[in-house]
Protein backbone atom coordinates (compact mmCIF):
# COMPACT_ATOMS: atom_id res chain seq x y z
CA UNK A 1 0.00 0.00 0.00
CA UNK A 2 1.18 3.50 -0.74
CA UNK A 3 -0.16 5.23 2.34
CA UNK A 4 -1.70 4.43 5.70
CA UNK A 5 -5.27 3.41 4.93
CA UNK A 6 -7.00 5.47 7.65
CA UNK A 7 -6.18 8.47 9.80
CA UNK A 8 -6.66 6.54 13.05
CA UNK A 9 -4.00 3.89 12.35
CA UNK A 10 -1.08 5.97 13.60
CA UNK A 11 -2.81 7.21 16.80
CA UNK A 12 -3.94 3.65 17.53
CA UNK A 13 -0.40 2.31 17.06
CA UNK A 14 1.00 5.06 19.29
CA UNK A 15 -1.63 4.37 21.95
CA UNK A 16 -0.64 0.69 21.96
CA UNK A 17 2.99 1.70 22.43
CA UNK A 18 2.22 4.02 25.34
CA UNK A 19 0.00 1.43 27.01
CA UNK A 20 1.97 -1.72 26.31
CA UNK A 21 5.53 -0.61 25.68
CA UNK A 22 7.76 -3.49 24.63
CA UNK A 23 6.78 -6.56 26.70
CA UNK A 24 9.56 -9.14 26.53
CA UNK A 25 7.12 -12.03 26.36
CA UNK A 26 5.64 -10.74 23.10
CA UNK A 27 7.34 -11.91 19.86
CA UNK A 28 8.82 -8.73 18.37
CA UNK A 29 9.77 -8.23 14.71
CA UNK A 30 12.83 -6.19 15.67
CA UNK A 31 14.26 -9.20 17.50
CA UNK A 32 13.59 -11.25 14.37
CA UNK A 33 15.41 -8.59 12.37
CA UNK A 34 18.39 -8.96 14.66
CA UNK A 35 18.43 -12.71 14.14
CA UNK A 36 18.16 -12.24 10.36
CA UNK A 37 21.13 -9.86 10.42
CA UNK A 38 23.21 -12.34 12.42
CA UNK A 39 22.22 -15.20 10.11
CA UNK A 40 22.89 -13.35 6.83
CA UNK A 41 26.14 -11.61 7.75
CA UNK A 42 28.41 -14.70 7.40
CA UNK A 43 26.91 -15.55 4.00
CA UNK A 44 27.55 -12.09 2.54
CA UNK A 45 30.99 -11.85 4.13
CA UNK A 46 32.02 -15.02 2.27
CA UNK A 47 31.12 -13.62 -1.14
CA UNK A 48 34.16 -12.96 -3.40
CA UNK A 49 33.53 -9.21 -3.26
CA UNK A 50 35.03 -6.20 -1.57
CA UNK A 51 33.64 -5.89 1.94
CA UNK A 52 32.02 -2.54 1.15
CA UNK A 53 30.15 -4.07 -1.80
CA UNK A 54 29.21 -7.20 0.15
CA UNK A 55 27.98 -5.02 3.00
CA UNK A 56 25.90 -2.91 0.63
CA UNK A 57 24.24 -5.98 -0.89
CA UNK A 58 23.69 -7.37 2.61
CA UNK A 59 21.90 -4.19 3.74
CA UNK A 60 19.78 -3.83 0.60
CA UNK A 61 18.76 -7.50 0.70
CA UNK A 62 17.53 -7.26 4.30
CA UNK A 63 15.78 -3.91 3.85
CA UNK A 64 14.02 -5.00 0.65
CA UNK A 65 13.17 -8.36 2.18
CA UNK A 66 11.60 -6.71 5.22
CA UNK A 67 9.50 -4.40 3.04
CA UNK A 68 8.35 -7.29 0.84
CA UNK A 69 7.43 -9.63 3.69
CA UNK A 70 5.50 -6.89 5.49
CA UNK A 71 3.67 -5.92 2.32
CA UNK A 72 2.62 -9.53 1.73
CA UNK A 73 1.43 -9.89 5.33
CA UNK A 74 -0.68 -6.73 5.12
CA UNK A 75 -2.09 -7.66 1.70
CA UNK A 76 -3.06 -11.16 2.85
CA UNK A 77 -4.66 -9.79 6.02
CA UNK A 78 -6.60 -7.20 4.03
CA UNK A 79 -7.77 -9.86 1.59
CA UNK A 80 -9.28 -11.77 4.51
CA UNK A 81 -11.15 -8.66 5.69
CA UNK A 82 -10.38 -4.96 5.63
CA UNK A 83 -10.67 -4.79 9.42
CA UNK A 84 -8.14 -7.61 9.76
CA UNK A 85 -5.78 -5.70 7.46
CA UNK A 86 -6.24 -2.51 9.47
CA UNK A 87 -5.60 -4.36 12.73
CA UNK A 88 -2.43 -5.98 11.36
CA UNK A 89 -1.16 -2.63 10.12
CA UNK A 90 -1.78 -1.00 13.50
CA UNK A 91 0.11 -3.79 15.29
CA UNK A 92 3.04 -3.71 12.86
CA UNK A 93 3.41 0.08 13.19
CA UNK A 94 3.13 -0.28 16.97
CA UNK A 95 6.12 -2.62 16.82
CA UNK A 96 8.09 0.18 15.12
CA UNK A 97 7.49 2.68 17.94
CA UNK A 98 9.40 2.80 21.20
CA UNK A 99 8.39 5.93 23.13
CA UNK A 100 7.21 4.00 26.19
CA UNK A 101 10.23 1.68 26.37
CA UNK A 102 12.58 4.65 25.90
CA UNK A 103 10.95 6.55 28.75
CA UNK A 104 10.98 3.47 30.99
CA UNK A 105 14.68 2.81 30.31
CA UNK A 106 15.64 6.44 30.92
CA UNK A 107 13.62 6.67 34.14
CA UNK A 108 15.22 3.45 35.41
CA UNK A 109 18.56 5.27 35.19
CA UNK A 110 17.13 8.39 36.85
CA UNK A 111 15.69 6.43 39.77
CA UNK A 112 19.04 4.82 40.54
CA UNK A 113 20.83 8.15 40.34
CA UNK A 114 18.34 9.80 42.67
CA UNK A 115 18.92 6.98 45.17
CA UNK A 116 22.67 7.49 44.94
CA UNK A 117 23.19 4.05 43.39
CA UNK A 118 25.99 4.96 40.97
CA UNK A 119 27.17 1.43 40.07
CA UNK A 120 23.58 0.38 39.36
CA UNK A 121 22.98 3.56 37.33
CA UNK A 122 26.12 2.89 35.26
CA UNK A 123 24.94 -0.66 34.58
CA UNK A 124 21.51 0.62 33.58
CA UNK A 125 22.76 3.34 31.25
CA UNK A 126 25.17 0.87 29.63
CA UNK A 127 22.09 -0.97 28.35
CA UNK A 128 20.96 2.03 26.28
CA UNK A 129 24.19 3.70 25.12
CA UNK A 130 27.15 2.44 23.12
CA UNK A 131 29.94 4.31 24.91
CA UNK A 132 32.21 3.37 27.81
CA UNK A 133 30.50 4.44 31.04
CA UNK A 134 32.62 2.70 33.70
CA UNK A 135 34.12 5.98 34.95
CA UNK A 136 31.01 8.13 34.65
CA UNK A 137 29.80 10.07 37.65
CA UNK A 138 26.19 11.22 38.09
CA UNK A 139 26.44 14.15 35.67
CA UNK A 140 27.99 12.01 32.93
CA UNK A 141 25.31 9.34 33.36
CA UNK A 142 22.57 11.98 33.22
CA UNK A 143 24.12 13.54 30.12
CA UNK A 144 24.32 10.19 28.32
CA UNK A 145 20.71 9.40 29.22
CA UNK A 146 19.36 12.75 28.00
CA UNK A 147 21.30 12.35 24.74
CA UNK A 148 19.77 8.90 24.25
CA UNK A 149 16.26 10.21 24.87
CA UNK A 150 16.84 12.99 22.33
CA UNK A 151 18.35 10.81 19.62
CA UNK A 152 15.88 7.97 20.06
CA UNK A 153 12.90 10.29 19.82
CA UNK A 154 13.84 10.38 16.13
CA UNK A 155 14.81 6.71 15.75
CA UNK A 156 11.94 5.36 17.83
CA UNK A 157 9.06 7.73 17.07
CA UNK A 158 9.45 10.51 14.50
CA UNK A 159 11.10 8.45 11.75
CA UNK A 160 8.76 5.45 12.05
CA UNK A 161 5.75 7.78 11.95
CA UNK A 162 7.18 9.63 8.96
CA UNK A 163 7.72 6.46 6.95
CA UNK A 164 4.43 4.92 8.07
CA UNK A 165 2.65 8.00 6.75
CA UNK A 166 4.51 7.72 3.45
CA UNK A 167 4.25 3.99 2.91
CA UNK A 168 2.24 2.31 5.64
CA UNK A 169 3.52 -0.58 7.71
CA UNK A 170 5.82 -1.96 4.95
CA UNK A 171 7.91 1.22 4.77
CA UNK A 172 7.86 1.70 8.55
CA UNK A 173 9.17 -1.86 9.02
CA UNK A 174 11.77 -1.33 6.30
CA UNK A 175 12.95 1.75 8.23
CA UNK A 176 13.14 -0.34 11.39
CA UNK A 177 15.42 -2.77 9.58
CA UNK A 178 17.57 0.18 8.48
CA UNK A 179 17.83 1.34 12.08
CA UNK A 180 18.55 -2.16 13.39
CA UNK A 181 21.28 -2.67 10.79
CA UNK A 182 22.93 0.58 11.84
CA UNK A 183 22.79 -0.37 15.53
CA UNK A 184 24.29 -3.81 14.88
CA UNK A 185 26.84 -3.32 12.09
CA UNK A 186 27.16 0.42 11.54
CA UNK A 187 30.32 0.76 13.64
CA UNK A 188 33.66 2.32 12.75
CA UNK A 189 35.72 -0.50 14.22
CA UNK A 190 37.99 -3.05 12.59
CA UNK A 191 35.17 -5.54 12.03
CA UNK A 192 32.59 -3.19 10.52
CA UNK A 193 34.42 -0.16 9.14
CA UNK A 194 33.98 -1.53 5.61
CA UNK A 195 31.22 -4.12 5.86
CA UNK A 196 28.93 -1.85 7.88
CA UNK A 197 29.59 1.36 5.95
CA UNK A 198 26.49 1.05 3.74
CA UNK A 199 24.26 0.31 6.72
CA UNK A 200 25.45 3.45 8.49
CA UNK A 201 25.07 5.60 5.36
CA UNK A 202 21.58 4.29 4.60
CA UNK A 203 20.53 5.08 8.17
CA UNK A 204 21.88 8.62 7.72
CA UNK A 205 19.82 9.07 4.56
CA UNK A 206 16.61 7.71 6.06
CA UNK A 207 16.88 9.88 9.18
CA UNK A 208 17.94 13.09 7.44
CA UNK A 209 14.48 14.64 7.05
CA UNK A 210 12.87 13.24 10.26
CA UNK A 211 15.78 14.50 12.40
CA UNK A 212 15.17 18.03 11.16
CA UNK A 213 11.39 17.77 11.34
CA UNK A 214 11.81 16.77 14.98
CA UNK A 215 13.32 20.15 15.90
CA UNK A 216 10.15 22.29 15.74
CA UNK A 217 8.16 19.47 17.34
CA UNK A 218 10.61 19.37 20.28
CA UNK A 219 10.52 23.17 20.49
CA UNK A 220 6.72 23.18 20.59
CA UNK A 221 6.67 20.54 23.33
CA UNK A 222 9.26 22.56 25.26
CA UNK A 223 7.21 25.74 24.89
CA UNK A 224 4.11 24.00 26.25
CA UNK A 225 5.94 22.42 29.19
CA UNK A 226 8.51 25.06 30.12
CA UNK A 227 8.04 28.16 27.97
CA UNK A 228 11.51 27.73 26.44
CA UNK A 229 10.63 26.72 22.89
CA UNK A 230 12.55 29.64 21.43
CA UNK A 231 15.74 28.64 23.24
CA UNK A 232 15.32 25.06 22.08
CA UNK A 233 14.81 26.12 18.47
CA UNK A 234 17.70 28.60 18.51
CA UNK A 235 20.14 26.07 19.98
CA UNK A 236 19.12 23.40 17.47
CA UNK A 237 19.73 25.57 14.43
CA UNK A 238 22.93 27.10 15.84
CA UNK A 239 24.59 23.89 17.10
CA UNK A 240 22.78 20.98 15.49
CA UNK A 241 25.62 20.41 13.05
CA UNK A 242 28.16 20.07 15.90
CA UNK A 243 28.06 16.30 15.89
CA UNK A 244 29.84 13.44 14.16
CA UNK A 245 26.44 12.23 12.96
CA UNK A 246 24.70 14.31 10.27
CA UNK A 247 21.40 13.84 12.10
CA UNK A 248 21.77 13.15 15.83
CA UNK A 249 23.01 16.66 16.61
CA UNK A 250 19.71 18.34 15.75
CA UNK A 251 17.43 16.65 18.30
CA UNK A 252 20.25 16.68 20.86
CA UNK A 253 20.75 20.42 20.38
CA UNK A 254 16.99 20.98 20.65
CA UNK A 255 16.99 19.12 23.98
CA UNK A 256 20.14 20.95 25.12
CA UNK A 257 18.36 24.26 24.57
CA UNK A 258 15.14 22.99 26.09
CA UNK A 259 16.84 21.88 29.32
CA UNK A 260 19.76 24.36 29.33
CA UNK A 261 22.29 21.52 29.58
CA UNK A 262 25.59 20.76 27.87
CA UNK A 263 25.50 17.54 25.83
CA UNK A 264 27.74 15.50 23.53
CA UNK A 265 31.47 16.18 23.88
CA UNK A 266 34.40 13.72 24.01
CA UNK A 267 33.55 10.11 24.86
CA UNK A 268 35.30 6.76 24.92
CA UNK A 269 34.01 3.97 22.66
CA UNK A 270 35.63 0.57 23.08
CA UNK A 271 38.55 2.21 24.87
CA UNK A 272 39.11 4.73 22.06
CA UNK A 273 38.61 8.46 22.67
CA UNK A 274 36.32 10.13 20.15
CA UNK A 275 36.78 13.89 20.40
CA UNK A 276 33.36 15.32 19.59
CA UNK A 277 32.34 18.97 20.11
CA UNK A 278 29.95 19.97 22.86
CA UNK A 279 26.37 20.94 22.10
CA UNK A 280 24.81 23.61 24.30
CA UNK A 281 28.28 24.90 25.05
CA UNK A 282 27.04 27.85 27.13
CA UNK A 283 24.89 25.71 29.41
CA UNK A 284 25.75 23.78 32.57
CA UNK A 285 26.10 20.02 33.15
CA UNK A 286 23.16 17.63 33.15
CA UNK A 287 21.74 16.45 36.46
CA UNK A 288 19.52 13.47 37.31
CA UNK A 289 16.38 15.63 37.46
CA UNK A 290 16.93 16.57 33.81
CA UNK A 291 16.18 12.98 32.77
CA UNK A 292 12.53 13.22 33.88
CA UNK A 293 12.17 16.56 32.10
CA UNK A 294 13.70 15.09 28.94
CA UNK A 295 11.24 12.18 29.06
CA UNK A 296 8.32 14.57 29.48
CA UNK A 297 9.44 16.57 26.44
CA UNK A 298 10.02 13.39 24.44
CA UNK A 299 6.57 11.98 25.19
CA UNK A 300 4.77 15.24 24.44
CA UNK A 301 6.79 15.71 21.25
CA UNK A 302 5.85 12.18 20.23
CA UNK A 303 2.17 12.92 20.85
CA UNK A 304 2.41 16.16 18.85
CA UNK A 305 4.13 14.27 16.03
CA UNK A 306 1.32 11.70 15.92
CA UNK A 307 -1.26 14.47 15.84
CA UNK A 308 0.47 16.36 13.05
CA UNK A 309 0.98 13.31 10.85
CA UNK A 310 -2.60 12.13 11.37
CA UNK A 311 -3.95 15.59 10.58
CA UNK A 312 -1.94 15.71 7.35
CA UNK A 313 -3.31 12.30 6.40
CA UNK A 314 -6.89 13.50 6.96
CA UNK A 315 -6.50 16.82 5.15
CA UNK A 316 -4.34 15.85 2.22
CA UNK A 317 -4.22 12.05 2.06
CA UNK A 318 -0.41 12.17 2.31
CA UNK A 319 2.30 13.44 4.63
pLDDT per residue as tens digits for the range 65-79? 999 999 999 999 999
* CA–CA dist 62, 68 (Å, integer): 10
Quote the pTM value: 0.92
CB 298 within 8 A of CB 154: no
Radius of gyration of the chain (CA): 19
Quick: pLDDT tens for 1-26: 445 556 789 999 999 999 988 877 77
* Biggest CA pair distance of the chain: 58
Reply yes or no on whether the pLDDT at 300 is more than 90: yes
Cβ-Cβ contacts under 8 Å for 183 (sequence gap 6 or more) = none
Q: What angle do the packed helices 51-80 and 197-226 form, to 10 degrees?
A: 60
- Would you state the pLDDT for residue 319? 40
Domain boundary assignment for the chain: 9-316
Amino acid sequence: MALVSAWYILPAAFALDIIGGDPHWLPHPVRWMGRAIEACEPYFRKRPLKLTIAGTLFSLFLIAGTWTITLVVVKVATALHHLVGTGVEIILIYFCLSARSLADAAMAVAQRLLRGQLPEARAQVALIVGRDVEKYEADGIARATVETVAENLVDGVISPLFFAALGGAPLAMAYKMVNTLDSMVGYKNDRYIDFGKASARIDDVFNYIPARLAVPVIALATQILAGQGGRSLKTAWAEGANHSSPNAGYPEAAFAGALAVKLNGPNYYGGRLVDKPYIGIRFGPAHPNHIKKACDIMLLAALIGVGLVSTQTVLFGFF
